[in-house]
Structure 1
Amino acid sequence: MSNNCDVIKDKLNNYLVTVEMSSEDKVLRNMLGIVNAITRTNYYQPHKHIFSFKFDSSKVLDLPKPVPFAEAFVYSRNFEAVHLRGGPVSRGGLRWSDRAEDYRFEVLGLMKAQMTKNSVIVPVGSKGGFYVHFTEEGLTRDEYMEKVVECYKNFLRGLLDITDNIIDGKVVYPKEVIIYDKEDPYLVVAADKGTASFSDYANSVAREYNYWLDDAFASGGSAGYDHKKMAITSKGAWISVTNHFKTLGLDVQKDPITVVGIGDMSGDVFGNGMLRSETIKLVAAFNHKHIFIDPTPDPLSSFNERLRLFNLKGSNWSDYDSKLISKGGKVFERSSKLIKLSPEIKKLLDINDNEMSPEELIKAILKADVDLLWNGGIGTYIKAKTENNLEIGDKANDNLRCNGEEIRAKVIAEGGNVGVSQRGRVEYAKKGGRINADFIDNSAGVDCSDHEVNIKIALSSAVTSGKITLEERNKLLNDMTKQVEELVLLDNYKQTEAITIMQLSPTLTVNILSQFIDILEEEKVLERENEFLPSAEELNRRAISGEVLTRPELCLLLSYSKRSAYHELLNSTFSHDKYFDAYLIDYFPEMMQKKFYNEILSHPLKHEIIKTVTINKIINQLGGPLISIVKREIGAPLCDIIRSYTIICEIFDLDDIWETISKLPTNIDYNVKIDMFTEITKLMRRGISWFIKNLKHPINISETIEEFRVPAQNLRKTVGTLLVGETKIRFEEKLNYYTTSGVEESFAATIATFDNLISVFDIIYVTKQTSGNNKEIAKAYFAISDMFSLDWLRKACYRQLNDSFWRRLGIQSLKDDLYDKQ
């Protein structure tokens, strides 16, 4: 077959030499490139009325970026479709597109966003879309939808025609398909615009093909997790809201907050979101039909009315009890020519006009001076002033769109997708607004689906072996709903906390972040222009002027750091260490951990899950930029850094201490918490360096923990009493700072000792070499430090200019040398 292909290619290339016009030559070579990029097709399968082709996208010339890992094109008389994947293990929704001219461009943008969003879960991002070739003309609504559903199912049939299966644990190629790529058995889909209720149709096709994932093929079906019923997406986004207001000293479950919103109570994200707190004062909202304004709502009665509407099937704002709307408020039709404004509405929105068009009123709502703007709808409503509507690509909302600098809400929460453009987010954040990004705020949905898929995969072997029946599995899935929710929301909490730490940490300077962006570009993980990240010149200007990176920019860096780390670990074997089996077990709900222990340990995606969990953990705590710096400073691969990080966390119970800081009450200033988190990360960083430099490789995690844990813990309890001179004074100053800030004394003392805890490993090492006593060696160790002012010298190193990699490397080498000499 290969020789035949080579002969044909030679003939075509010889012909291309004879082509005289450059434009014709370019078109023909591009067409040849597309043919050469085909890796599979169902064309040779008999009795097919749909045709599907799989491409190695990297071989297609001049594709717009980002270039997918692979893509499929499916065509029939009634529809055409594309499916773009970011990697071999990827997931994302399939949408029913209405963009005949550029649906691939639409899907590419969605895949790019999904890649960023999926950094918290096992698979990378993918996205698909189909466009139907017929209209509703001459059909009833039911007949039309029946044809659309059949197109959707045929789209999936086209994909499964060229997808590998797994039978009895072995990968099986599809019949009558010539394979030009590697084994590729993982295909998972999800709901999207227009396909929210199609999961059962997808799973029926999977069963038709006896596909190994069965009803894990499409999450959220009749035997899956109902996201609206769980309110999982809105609960995840509400964690972002809670975090934003916590930094303002407000508790959104107790303190009243004024809110404007996009959506209505029948929607999942908006409806569930507006039921997250009884202290919400929803003063205005709009959807595609109505504008709702309630200038001075009573929080409790308005909450109860929103709850009634949420439970009313197909409700709209027009169903809101007008008797419960405060003076001057009303529900208006968006179809109205003009809307008369009451004095109360004019005061609420800070406008002088007596009447406005519906579009003008909506823009005034978006610009309202409120606590929170909650986006639970579809569309992009906020851009940057430097962007035009054509760049946004959401024509339906062109007349409503505002600029980020015009938004006066203190906080924006993006429960919906792309409600704000990235440049719009940055513009809003630069003027003091608090915002993350949609791929952070609404990631709970994909996280929940990923848990569902992996749970079903784990349980499938138990069903096959007869350990449980399918009905018992379905009951277990339902019984575990609350535990799945807790696992997902914990991911949300840790990720938003990580962004806040990145934003407020004194150690993450603009120079360090700038160099991290350079590293990501060198690794070809990131193209800053495509993600609207600042240029090197702009970052230099910010560093000089004392400006920082905004939260939306940090959100991107957090996500890309996880993607970069996962890419580096693709071929790493660190996940084979039995120590990490506990990470795998803890990924699953507690209700299935014991009974299905063996099924979990034999999970087909075991190593992918362990790597994802580990990467999320280390980057949420240490931060991608610091890990990248440590890698370069000590010249160690990421897998060794992970092993050392795991050891130091276990020896000093750092995860428990981290959680205690996270749960400190809101009356303790958030900057105090940041200082405490910084002390932990400094200890982690030093510990990583010490273990990599002083232990035999590959580092055995369990043996090292067993060797150092007990003596290190004993020294931790007494180290505060062994300090002398300047070191003791600094310890007492830190202890006083924490206790006067409201931190309980014993816990404050624990954190205050961290600056000296790294020394315990040197002390233990010397004790073993000399057969001495840990306590006596420790006394001598700290006495030597005081005698030669070594601690003062190390602190002096911190005050040196460290605006480049080589300066930081020199300073770090000097500090390490001082520790070694001590």
Structure 2
Amino acid sequence: MGITARGAWESVTRHFRELGIDVQEQDFTVVGVGDMSGDVFGNGMLLSEHIRLVAAFDHRHVFVDPDPDAAASFAERTRLFGLQRSSWADYNRSRISAGGGVWPRTSKAIPVSEPMRAALGIADGVETLTPVELIRAILLAPADLLFNGGIGTYVKASTESALDVGDKANDAVRVDGEQLRVRVVGEGGNLGLTQRGRVEYALTGGRVNTDAIDNSAGVDTSDHEVNIKIALNRVVDDGEIDAAGRAALLGEMADEVAVAVLTDNHDQNATLAVEASSARSLLDAHERFLRALERSGRLVRSVEALPDDRALTERRRDGQALTSPELSVLLAYAKLEAGDVVLQTDLPDDPALEDLLAGYFPTRLRERFPAAITGHPLRREIVGTALTNRAVNIAGTTGLFRLSQETGVPLDRVVRAHVVARAVFDVDRQWDAVGRLDNAVSATTQVELRTEATRLAERTARWLLRQPDLVADPAPPVAAVRDRFAASVAAVRAGLPDWLLGKEAEGYTARVARLEESGVPPERAAEAAAAPLLPAALDLAVVTERTGAPITLAGPVMQCLSERLGLVPLRELVLALPRDRRWPSMARASLRDDLAAETASLTEDVLGARGSDDDDPQELVGAWAEGWDATQARSAAQLGDIASGDRHELAELLVAVRTLRGLRKRRQARRIPRPAEK
């Protein structure tokens, strides 16, 4: 299957996409560790016809092609890969550009040609190199990609010794991360770089994950294989299929398993791309997450080469944040943390999540032996893992942790709320759709689209966590909550563009136009532009339940109310508050949620006073305002004073949101009615 190399290539393509390079359309230079007879290196060097392999080495030879022709070299690598056994010595010398060659590692001296000097960045005046010196030059070459498909550790940090690395065989050739001149590192092999070496390279601007991320496809494929074989054990025992039929079925399913596995690799890289883009603003959250993991005994920072508090302080001072290799480690811990709590709940047994179980297995198995899947002895574990992957990929490394910490709700209930939130707004579909825009839009635009989906899920989960009836123990089934809001969400999605007024309408139109200009399809652009406004659908659903007004009226009334009271600019001021530290972030989130709740309450007041024939939003809001008492009028005036003031800091905005409460009718606190009470 060549799955390990293909998985690593998902990381490589993501890094290059962020550099504005499509590796399937544009030539790029590569240096590597391995040869074409190796599974990882051999498969990896055939994954793009635009690879210009400048140099590579294994334990036998050193290969240099200073100015390779992409097409000709691809054909020659393909030939070598097809041989029973091959080495770089089998490379057709006529296909090697001038000044290149193949030399045994036992050579005493290798001549340095001018083309070799230019390709590998060798200093002027150097006439010959030993094989060890040439290998170091290859590792330090100014190429686009260093692809590791070999065995051994070739890059360490400048602060590490050879003894720290523990790979005596490669002590002579090993280089430091800060010395690397490639733009991207892809790790098809294990331990090609130490973790501290990766971080040192990343801090210089290099693009690299970890080997655990890059070559995880092999392990993921093995997991699928084992779980498929467990499912088939019962089928074989029952005589429904014999050993030969089982083997044939496994072969038939290989391609679909590969697609599922590579999707996992792609999605993890997408998550890391979003996380890295916000790493500076999230540094405080990352630091708090690290401390929480340490307190729980799950993490030892020094073991994982993660920075201590002093190092984090220095990075904050220098405008730096956690690097992609460090975020890769945190991503793993976030999934371990969430996965553990999920299995302790009944969430994996929720009928709405049965698709996660079915989707894990190939179509052929689902069609022929469905009972083997539904009766799988590791059913809960498979669902729990799939659920956790989806939740953390979309929420981000600290998303679930922050929701738990900021709301005071245990992590298991936070995960449940996040699952429900994504189901209510079909967030998974929106997040997945961004992958289909690879190389069609910029990596920055993809991050923006995924961030909108992430924020929609987060805000919805936060809203749900404020409703005791929806997170009680036992909590209502996922489908029950999803279905309760389905009609409202659909109506808001359909009507929202026409309901918007004033600056909010202008802002929405501008967002759609900007995304379309970036290459985003119109429908997707409209959906992403509306995402920040969609959580209002939940409040509108409650308003319609309490007042009996149709949502097609409640929505426009809320917009007219917001326009009349100047709530849209007020919301923008709240969103502009800093969120780089815990308490400011919590204050910002609370103000935003309180503003939304007060807006919903005022909408309920307006609709509660309407007559049976009143259906004009502007007239309803106008009539409501004309009926203000002295307290309400005073509150409206104060709100206007705040909005027109020069200062719009936390204190002013807090007063503004509280002032809104003075516009409400006097009544008991709102409570969401249970479905049976409607």
TM-score per shorter chain, which class? 0.7 to 0.9
Contact 2:342 2:415 in 1 (8 A): no
Quick one: which of 42, 46, 49 aligns to 1:278? 49
| Cα shift readout 1:51-90 (whole Å, capped 9, x = no counterpart) | xxxxxxxxxxxxxxxxxxxxxxxxxxxxxxxxxxxxxxxx
1:661 matched residue in structure 2: 434
Deviation at 1:415, TM superposition (A): 0.5
Task: Confirm or deny: 8 A CA contact 1:383 1:424 kept in the other structure.
Answer: yes
For residues 23-64 of structure 1, the C-alpha deviation after alignment (integer angstroms, 9 at most, x for no partner) is xxxxxxxxxxxxxxxxxxxxxxxxxxxxxxxxxxxxxxxxxx
Q: Does 1:423 align with 2:200?
A: no
Q: Which residue of 1 aligns with 2:633?
A: none
- Aligned twin of 1:810: 587
Aligned residue runs from structure 1 range 367-386, under 5 A: 367-386=140-159
Give the corresponding residue for 1:586: 359
* Aligned-pair CA distance for 1:667: 4.9
Residue 610 of structure 1: how far off its partner (Å): 0.8
Separation in 2, partners of 1:385, 1:782: 59
Shift of 1:431: 1.1
CA distance in 1, matches of 2:556, 2:279: 32
Q: CA deviation at 1:725?
A: 3.0
Partner of 1:714: 491
The aligned counterpart of 1:306 is: 77
Say whether residues 1:323 and 2:104 are aligned partners: no
Give, in angstroms, the shift of residue 737 of structure 1: 2.1
Q: Does 1:764 align with 2:537?
A: no
Q: 1:333: which partner in 2?
A: 104
Q: Is the partner of 2:437 in helix, strand or coil?
A: coil
Which structure has more relative contact order (CA 8 Å, sep 6+)? It is 2
1:588-737 alignment runs, 5 A limit: 588-694=361-467, 695-696=469-470, 697=472, 698-737=475-514
1:473-622 paired onto structure 2 within 5 Å: 473-505=246-278, 508-622=281-395
Which residue is equivalent to 2:17?
A: 246
1:777 maps to amino acid? A
Once the two structures are overlaid, the 10-residue window that deviates more, 653-662 or 243-252, is 653-662
The aligned residue for residue 518 of structure 2 is: 741
- How far residue 349 of structure 1 moved from its aligned partner, in angstroms, is 1.6
- Paired residues of 1:643 and 1:699 also in contact (CA < 8 A): no
Q: In 1, distance between residues paired with 2:162 and 2:107?
A: 24
2:607 aligns to what? none
- Following superposition of structure 1 onto structure 2, how do residues 256-267 of structure 1 map, counting pairs within 5 Å? 256-267=27-38
Alignment of 1:117-128 (within 5 A): none
SS at match of 1:743: coil
Contact 2:51/2:70, CA 8 A, preserved across alignment:
yes
Unaligned stretches of 5+ in structure 2? Answer: 600-678
* Partner amino acid, structure 2, of 1:312: L
Q: Look up the match of 1:342.
A: 113
Tell me the secondary structure at the aligned position of residue 284 of structure 1: strand
Query: Does the 8 Å CA contact 2:72/2:95 hold for their aligned counterparts?
Result: yes
Write the distance in 2 (CA, Å) between the matches of 1:630 and 1:430: 29
- Post-superposition shift, 1:259? 0.7
Aligned to 1:168: none
Aligned counterpart for 1:412 among listed residues 182, 185, 191 = 185
Pick aligned residue for 1:293 from 55, 64, 73: 64
Partners of 2:3 and 2:447 lie apart in 1 by 28
- The residue identity in structure 1 corresponding to 2:14 is N
The one-letter code of the counterpart of 1:363 is R
Kept in 2: contact 1:440–1:555 (CA 8 A): yes
Q: Deviations over 1:654-679 (max 9, x none)?
A: 22222222222525232222222221
Conservation of the 8 A alpha-carbon contact between 2:512 and 2:526: yes
> Which residue identity is paired with 2:434?
I
Q: Distance in 1 between matches of 2:579 and 2:18?
A: 29
- The answer on whether the counterparts of 1:291 and 1:331 sit within 8 Å (CA) in structure 2 is yes
Quote the Cα distance in structure 1 between the aligned partners of 2:47 and 2:440: 22
TM-score relative to the length of structure 1? 0.70
Equivalent in the alignment of 2:7: 236
* Residue identity opposite 1:271 in structure 2: G
Is the 2:357–2:383 contact (alpha carbons within 8 Å) kept by the matching residues of 1? Answer: yes
In the TM superposition, residue 432 of structure 1 has moved relative to its aligned partner by 1.2
- Is the CA contact 2:578–2:588 (under 8 Å) kept in the aligned structure 1? no
Q: Which has the higher helix share?
A: 2
Q: Equivalent residues in 2 for 1:131-170 (5 A)?
A: none
Q: Determine if contact 1:505/1:674 at 8 Å carries over to the other structure.
A: no
Task: Find the residue that maps to 1:663 and give its secondary structure.
Answer: helix
Structure 2 Cα separation of the partners of residues 753 and 457 of structure 1:
45
Structure 1 counterpart of 2:508, one-letter code: F
How far the C-alpha of 1:632 sits from its partner, in A, is: 1.4
Q: Which of 447, 451, 472 is equivalent to 2:224? A: 451
> What letter matches 2:500 in structure 1?
L
Change (3 A) 1:416 1:472: same
Q: Match of 1:496, as an amino acid?
A: N
Cα pair 1:652 1:713 within 8 Å, conserved: no
Report Cα offsets for 1:261-313 as digits up to 9, x if no partner. 10111110011111111111111110111101111112122112111111212
Task: Give the conservation status (yes or no) of the 8 Å contact 2:153–2:194.
Answer: yes
1:151-181 Cα deviation digits (max 9, x unpaired):
xxxxxxxxxxxxxxxxxxxxxxxxxxxxxxx
Amino acid at match of 2:542: Y
Cα deviations by residue, 1:695-741 (Å, 9 ceiling, x for unpaired): 43213211122221123112111112112233223222322321232
Distance in 2 of aligned mates of 1:376 and 1:686: 42
Q: How far apart, in 1, do the equivalents of 2:588 and 2:116 lie?
A: 60
How far apart are 1:347 and its partner, in Å? 2.0
Matches of 2:571 and 2:293, distance apart in 1: 30
**Partners of 2:421 and 2:539 in 1: CA distance:** 14
**Take 1:636 and 1:700, find their aligned partners in 2: how far apart are those partners?**
18
Supply the distance in 1 between the matched residues of 2:192 and 2:25 (Cα, whole angstroms): 27
- 2:527 pairs with 1:750: yes
Give the structure 2 partner of residue 216 of structure 1. none
Q: Aligned-pair RMSD on alpha carbons?
A: 1.6
Residue 507 (structure 1) shift: 8.4
1:163 matched residue in structure 2? none
Deviation at 1:783, TM superposition (A): 2.0
1:463-522 per-residue CA deviation (whole Å, 9 max, x = no partner) reads 111121222111100111111111111111101111111011378521222222122222
Alignment of 1:77-226 (within 5 A): none
Q: Which has the higher strand share?
A: 1
Specify the code of the residue in structure 1 equivalent to 2:246: R
CA drift at 1:808? 2.5
Aligned to 1:354: 127
Change over 3 Å in CA distance of 1:347–1:805 after alignment to 2: closer
Cα deviation for residue 390 of structure 1 reads: 0.6
The letter of the residue matching 1:731 is Y
- In the alignment, the residues of structure 2 paired with residue 765 and residue 528 of structure 1 have an alpha-carbon distance, to the nearest angstrom, of 46
**How many Å separate the matches in 2 of 1:631 and 1:655?**
21
Q: SS in structure 2 opposite 1:716?
A: helix
Can you give the 5+ residue segments of structure 1 that lack an aligned partner in the other structure?
1-229
